[in-house]
């Protein structure tokens, strides 16, 4: 039985600035939630918010407030069953990243007490998952700098390259990468940076044989994505638009996309992420695991999820050193371009105590009694 939580807030410098169409990060504002049972077992979850509401309306300070003042009170009488935990938190509308952090920490305890891995619980079928890498927009906006970065990732063994794009930084860098490496799996990610009127422009990239264009339009522009799916031979993938099983069902049924990026933090946890996988798998629609610059805590859980059979495209399940010189857990390391699926109880990893202490800038303890 869970009787208290600790919230740990960390600042972890990135190995290089990570720029997308919505902003640049140089230090990752990380929130880890530790659920502690009455017998002293700890479970861990990660809140993948950013420090400001750029990618999502959720952000660090907001998530801590929601967890403390709204989600924890909803859990007082629900017990530890993962599905009961998810149902209890539905009294709070939205805030999936905060829900994922609490729910995953409690799920981790529940699984550890049963000696079962998250991968086994979810129904994983793989021992390793193919690893792709997300390449941000170079601060210099220099194509040679981009090519040098991509070359380094390919030399490290990454099996797929994803290029962040925005208006003014799209055709030229994609053409350059494709010319340099004609056969690598390559895709783009716009993070909602384009308009419906850009369909003809995006279609100019069809010649590059891309795996997909990820989230070109605003998350609520469903019909716009239908139009782009018709305008482009390159498949359209939805990311920020997918918040639930129902939204995934609608996206596929309407033809707004044919591929789905599954991020547990965006959909409210690993139970819902698995359900979206199952729906997509039944429809024959490929899915892949997105990333949010996670530490080893969420990375471990994401790799377990990505080991399900419907994850047929390499995801953003990069090695720890893609983002951090020092991870809070033992680092995830590429093995022939893949990451090993954790097999230990729960998520299969724990923070290294001295590293956690060194990176933590704030912490607090919370109880289910308020």
Closest CA to 128 of 137, 140, 119: 119
The percent of residues in the chain predicted with pLDDT above 70, rounded, is 99
Mean pLDDT along residues 128-146: 97
What is the pLDDT confidence band of residue 248, given thresholds at 50, 70 and 90?
very high
- Per residue in 48-64, pLDDT tens? 999 999 889 999 999 99
Mean pLDDT along residues 295-321: 97
- Among all residues, which ones are annotated catalytic? 164, 263
Q: Are strands 236-238 and 2-20 parallel, antiparallel or unpaired?
A: unpaired
CA gap 13, 135 in Å, rounded: 17
User: What pLDDT does residue 1 have?
Assistant: 86
What is the pLDDT confidence band of residue 14, given thresholds at 50, 70 and 90?
very high
Strand partners, 11: 29
pLDDT at 247 over 70: yes
Closest CA to 349 of 303, 306, 296: 296
What is the pLDDT confidence band of residue 369, given thresholds at 50, 70 and 90?
low
CA gap 148, 49 in Å, rounded: 30
Strand partners, 188: 163, 213
pLDDT at 368 over 90: no
| Average per-residue pLDDT for the chain | 97
Mean pLDDT along residues 229-252: 98
- Per residue in 183-212, pLDDT tens? 999 999 999 999 999 999 999 999 999 999
pLDDT at 304 over 60: yes
What is the pLDDT confidence band of residue 23, given thresholds at 50, 70 and 90?
confident
Domains observed in the chain? 2-115+353-367 (3.30.390.10), 120-340 (3.20.20.120)
Closest CA to 98 of 54, 63, 61, 69: 63
Mean pLDDT along residues 309-319: 97
The number of C-alpha atoms within 13 Å of 112 and in the hemisphere containing its C-beta is: 22
Strand partners, 189: 164, 214
User: What pLDDT does residue 18 have?
Assistant: 87
From the CB of residue 113, how many other CB atoms can be counted at a distance below 10 Å? 16
User: What pLDDT does residue 19 have?
Assistant: 86
- Per residue in 33-43, pLDDT tens? 999 999 999 99
User: What pLDDT does residue 66 have?
Assistant: 98
CA gap 285, 76 in Å, rounded: 39
pLDDT at 279 over 80: yes
User: What pLDDT does residue 349 have?
Assistant: 98
């Amino acid at each position: 039985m869970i009787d208290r939580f600790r919230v740990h807030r960390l600042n972890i410098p990135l190995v290089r600035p990570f720029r997308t169409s919505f902003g640049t990060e140089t230090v990752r504002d990380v929130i880890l939630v530790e659920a502690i049972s009455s017998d002293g077992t700890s479970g861990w979850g990660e809140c993948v918010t950013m420090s400001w509401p750029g990618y999502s309306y959720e952000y660090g300070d907001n998530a801590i407030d929601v967890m403390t003042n709204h989600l924890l009170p909803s859990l007082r009488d629900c017990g530890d069953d993962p599905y009961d935990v998810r149902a209890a938190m539905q009294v709070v509308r939205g805030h999936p990243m905060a829900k994922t952090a609490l729910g995953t920490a409690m799920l981790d305890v529940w699984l550890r007490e049963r000696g079962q891995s998250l991968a086994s619980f979810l129904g994983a079928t793989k021992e390793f998952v193919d690893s792709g890498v997300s390449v941000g927009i170079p601060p210099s906006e220099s194509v040679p700098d981009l090519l040098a970065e991509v070359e380094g990732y390919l030399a490290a063994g990454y099996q797929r390259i994803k290029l962040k794009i925005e208006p003014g930084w799209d055709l030229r860098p994609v053409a350059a990468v494709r010319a340099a490496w004609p056969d690598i799996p390559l895709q783009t990610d716009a993070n909602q940076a384009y308009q419906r009127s850009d369909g003809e422009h995006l279609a100019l990239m069809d010649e590059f044989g891309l795996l997909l264009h990820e989230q070109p339009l605003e998350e609520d522009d469903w019909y716009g994505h239908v139009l782009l799916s018709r305008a482009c031979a390159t498949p359209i993938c939805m990311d920020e638009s997918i918040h639930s099983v129902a939204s995934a069902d609608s996206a596929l049924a309407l033809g707004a996309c044919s591929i789905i990026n599954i991020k547990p933090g965006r959909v409210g946890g690993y139970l819902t992420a698995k359900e979206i996988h199952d729906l997509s798998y039944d429809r024959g629609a490929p899915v892949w695991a997105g990333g949010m610059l996670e530490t080893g805590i969420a990375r471990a859980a994401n790799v377990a999820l990505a080991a399900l059979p419907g994850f047929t495209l390499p995801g953003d399940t990069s090695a720890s050193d893609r983002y951090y010189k020092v991870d809070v857990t033992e680092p995830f390391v590429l093995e022939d371009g893949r990451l090993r699926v954790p097999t230990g109880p729960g998520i299969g990893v724990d923070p290294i105590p001295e590293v956690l202490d060194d990176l933590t800038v704030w912490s607090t303890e919370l109880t289910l009694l308020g």
